Amino acid sequence: MKLHDLYSILGGNEVVFDETKFDHVINTPPMLISTFYRSDCRTLDKLGPNGFSPKVPADSNDIYRFVKACCTLTQNEAMQFSFANEFRSSSEYAKYGDYFVSTAVDCGQKCGIEYKIEGLEMAFHKVTNTAVGGLYIGISQSDWKKPIRAVKLSKNEVVFLDSIPMSYIRQI
């Protein structure tokens, strides 16, 4: 799948892909992660009740379709996706960065105010191996009525597609 097609799903575009691959991926044993880190220039009182939110929130159904489409990525396409995200501020895909909230699995983001996101039980299911640690899709385990979805792009980087509520965020 071309990256432009993948990203365009978040904007509501209809893209045809094999949706059955999602069932295969979601049935693999998950890797559980419950702590993430993020640096941000905003103080806690400026974050508001939604916590860390994408600048441009995608429709919940589009997020679901995006996560399902990620399950169809080949190893090469997953590497391109990870690489494009790494340099999204200066790439042709920069506008799509507004759909994500970037976090780190370790305390690697060192700019601005440092935050720890903990207690958010995320189950990450492996889509494919990559040179930077594999591509995984993640779904929160605490509230199935309001899921929090994410994509783990490398050993350290996780991008969230849904808001991370304030109840999980604390300044460190």
Q: Convert the pLDDT of each residue in 14-42 to its tens digit.
A: 999 999 999 999 999 999 999 999 999 99
Give the structural domain span for 91. Answer: 3-11+18-171
pLDDT tens by residue, 64-104: 999 999 999 999 999 998 887 765 555 677 778 889 999 99
In the chain, the N- to C-terminal Cα span, in Å, equals 39
Instruction: Quote the percentage of the chain above a pLDDT of 70.
Output: 94
CA dihedral 101, 107, 108, 113 (to 10 degrees): 60
Q: What is the pLDDT of residue 96?
A: 80
Q: What is the pLDDT of residue 112?
A: 83
Beta bridge pairs of residue 103: 158
Domain count, the chain: 1
Tell me whether strands 157-160 and 31-40 are parallel, antiparallel or unpaired: unpaired
- What is the chain's percent helix, strand, coil content, to nearest 5? 30, 30, 40
Q: What is the pTM of this model?
A: 0.92
